[in-house]
Structure 1
Amino acid sequence: MKRNLLNQPIFRLMVPPIYGIMMYLLILMINNDLEQLSETILNDELMLCAVLAFLTSESVRFVIVLVERRLQENLRKTGSIVMLFGVSLLTGAVVNFFAVDAYFRYFEDYQYFSSYSNTLYTIVITYSVSAMLYTLFFLSIHLLSIKNESELKKEDLKRQNLEHQLEIFNNEINPDLLFQSLETLISLVHHNLDKAEDFVDRLAIVYRYILDNRKKEVVALDDELRAAKNLIYLFKEKFPEQLSLEIKNEKFGIGKYMVPNTLPMVLDCMINGSIISPWQPMNIVIDCGGEDDYLVIQHKENDKLSNNKYIKNRYQNLHEAFAFFTDKPVIQIKAYGDAFIKLPLLDIKENV
């Protein structure tokens, strides 16, 4: 049996005497004999009530221990609860009957059962009801504990799932980016070796950034912005005049953090999911000073006709990755011909 309140030594020693006094007063009220309180404060009847309270609580607790060990998870069933109440009632009645009978026979020297039977029955009924109340108290604690454990398990499973999603997001390397970059590199090698070398260096920086931060939970926003600039450099070889990146309010991003690889992933999805041409250029604006500690990425809406399931999955992983660190959601909206993605900026104290 788990160490709940009913099994605490202090509870077992301190509560029965107090409860016994309450039962003594209750019995006096039943017998309409409250004037007896003025005669003495500590009399034999009061001591008897305290002892009976202790015997009742310990005997019923013993029954609860046995039943809980035997039934375990089945104790939550209605039939088991009814059975426990019945056994507790019977145990309380039997223990109190023999205890009170012994008191009257051996301490009060009563010779005939009929001379104290009414008092005995009153005490037995009163303490039998108290045994059921004790059982009810236990069941309240027990069922509440089960509910709390269930909620904790759900939260733990949710946390593990979020950790798994975060790991997937951090370990994700887009193979399409590598293939596109290699195609661009092949083209550069044939007419500009210096530019090809620079392109290889930038490509290495992009992938080194992804690999170096796979095991990190958060990175500084400054690092993410540098990674975004390096990625745009790679894409500008493919779209030299049709693609641009503008970063606003960088000073507001000082001391802020993000999930690793967020900006490169978002920019990659935006570029690969949009139609880009000399007549439809793509100008991406990153504003680090958005309201409510959000970083806002904006560009003209010009989505490709075919929906890329891989891009949708990457955005879904992004939502789940940020959910691990903050209650603020990742917001994706389209309005007035523009597409917006709002990413919550993280404070380091949120993740300590």
Structure 2
Amino acid sequence: MNTNKLILIIAISFSLLVNIPRIVFLFGIEEHGLMGLMEVSFTDTVFRISMLFSFCYVVLKLNLKWLRVISAKYRNLTSIMLTLLILGLWLLSFELVNNFIYSIEAYTISPRLNRFIYLFVTIMLLVISRTILLNNQSKLDAIEKERLKRKSLQNELAALKNQVNPHFLFNSLNSLSLLVRENPKAAGVFINKLSFLYRYILQSKDQDLLTVKEELKFLESYIHLIKERYRDNFIVNINIKEELFQRKVPTLALQLLMENAVKHNEISTDKPLYAEVYDEDNHLVVKNRLQSRKGHVESTNTGLSNLNTRFQLHMSQEIEISRDDEHFVVKIPLV
């Protein structure tokens, strides 16, 4: 809620709640009982409501708006001192105006009780102001934390797009060097796939989500380059319904999962790597056979963790990771 609107609501609420007995007596039909303990008139009631409303409004405005320019270190002390100063001035003004209205030194309510009411309201306003400020600060901190988290992810994604694994580029150039000598025609196709891959990365650098169709086209180019290195020892089967092609996923998500499979598994003539990409229950699934490399260091899962965080931020969903003795499976939700 807007702070100015909140200040107005609180000020009106206090001014009416404190004066409920006077309002009831003013419009009551009984002429005895508690009615006899105080003199109530329409002018007096409006005066008291107006004075308390303006007091609440000024105190709240001071604490929630005007003191924001003061350093947080001195804000609380300054708030209390200024609020007490306003309280003193308001009580003095109240009594002066009250005497002027009645023209004699008589009050429709005990001056001591009136001061107690204003002091109690002052304490409540300070507590409410502090609570609102803490709540607003908590929200601002949460927003800032979320902003920094998104910024960090954007930087990570930018770094990912700018490198797509230097080892992959190095190995691709080695494969290309062999192809140029052995099969110039295949080398031409390889160059087209490689240029498309990096052009795609540059063109999508400012986009968080892309269609499944675009991501599959990129993935197929990536797989083509990997297969030039491992030949028939790397087998990938892609089976996704065409009706899902316009759904979206985070940029490079499929490529990262396929790269993860290549990075952490042995690929050889004796142990070819089988991988699948398919759809299931509104998810895309990347599944590969588990065959850990010899001397392979245990993965920290940083790539999967970052990917999961991107899904949480962009889609408020998480990826699903499972494994058994034979397969490693990652399911990613579709937008």
- TM category (shorter chain) comes to 0.7 to 0.9
Pairing 1:70-81 to 2, within 5 Å after superposition: 71-74=70-73, 80=77
Q: Which residue of 2 aligns with 1:337?
A: 326
Aligned to 1:185: 176
**Does the 8 Å CA contact 1:165/1:320 hold for their aligned counterparts?**
no
Residue type of the alignment partner of 1:96 = L
Match of 2:19 in 1: 21
Q: Which residue of 2 aligns with 1:160?
A: 151
Alignment of 1:174 onto 2:165? yes
8 Å contact from structure 1 (residues 20, 46) kept in 2: no
- Within 5 Å, give how 1:286-297 maps onto structure 2: 286-287=277-278, 289-291=279-281, 293-297=282-286
Which digits, 9 at most, give the CA deviation of each residue in 1:55-96, with x for residues without a partner?
64366458658983685423675xx39x72x76457535632
Match of 1:322 among 311, 318, 324: 311
Q: Name 1:35's counterpart in structure 2.
A: 35
Figure out how many residues of one structure are paired with residues of the other and give that number: 329
Matched, 1:255 2:246: yes
Structure 2 alignment gaps of length 5 or more: 27-31
Secondary structure of the residue aligned to 1:329 is coil
Deviation at 1:246, TM superposition (A): 0.9
Mean alpha-carbon deviation: is it higher for 94-103 or for 299-308?
94-103
Q: Distance in 2 between matches of 1:18 and 1:320?
A: 49
Question: Contact conserved, 2:67 with 2:75, CA < 8 A, in 1?
Answer: no
Distance 1:129 1:215, change over 3 A: closer
Give the match for residue 53 of structure 1.
52
Which moved further from structure 2: 16-25 or 233-242? 16-25
Runs of 5+ unmatched residues, structure 1: 348-352
My pick for the range that moved more, 124-133 or 16-25, is 16-25
Q: Counterparts in 2 of 1:65-214, with a 5 A limit?
A: 68=67, 71-74=70-73, 80=77, 84=80, 88=83, 91-92=86-87, 95-97=90-92, 99-100=94-95, 103-104=98-99, 106-110=100-104, 119-214=110-205
* Residues 40-62 of structure 1, C-alpha deviations (whole Å, 9 max, x = no match): 97445424423542464366458
Amino acid aligned to 1:324: L
Find runs of 4+ consecutive structure 1 residues off by over 6 angstroms: 115-118, 308-311
State the distance in 2 between where 1:95 and 1:87 align.
12
Alignment check: 8 A CA contact 1:298 1:341 kept: yes
Verify the 8 A CA contact 1:222 1:254 in the aligned structure 2. yes
2:323–2:329 contact (8 Å) kept in structure 1: yes
TM-score by length of 1: 0.75
Q: Secondary structure of 1:336's partner?
A: coil
d(CA) in 1 for partners of 2:85 and 2:225? Answer: 82
Bigger mean CA offset, 295-304 vs 245-254: 245-254
SS of match in other structure, 1:211: helix
Q: Which residue of the other structure, out of 200, 220, 233, is the alignment partner of 1:242? A: 233
Q: Which residue of 2 aligns with 1:350?
A: none
Give distance in 2, aligned partners of 1:177 and 1:75: 57
Q: Is the 8 A contact 2:289 2:328 kept in 1?
A: yes
For 1:61 and 1:256, how far apart are their aligned partners in 2? 50
DSSP 3-state at the match of 1:343? strand
**Deviation readout 1:216-260 (Å, 9 max, x if unpaired):** 322221222222222222232333332211112333532212223
Give me the CA root mean square deviation. 3.9
1:62–1:147 CA distance, 2 compared to 1 (3 A): closer
CA contact (8 A) 1:282 1:300 kept: yes
Q: Percent identity?
A: 19
Distance change >3 Å, CA 42–CA 283, structure 1 → 2: same
In structure 2, how many angstroms separate the alpha carbons of the residues matched to 1:201 and 1:123? 86
SS for the counterpart of 1:239 is helix
In structure 1, how many angstroms separate the alpha carbons of the residues matched to 2:234 and 2:254?
16
Distance in 2 between residues matched to 1:59 and 1:201, nearest whole Å: 70
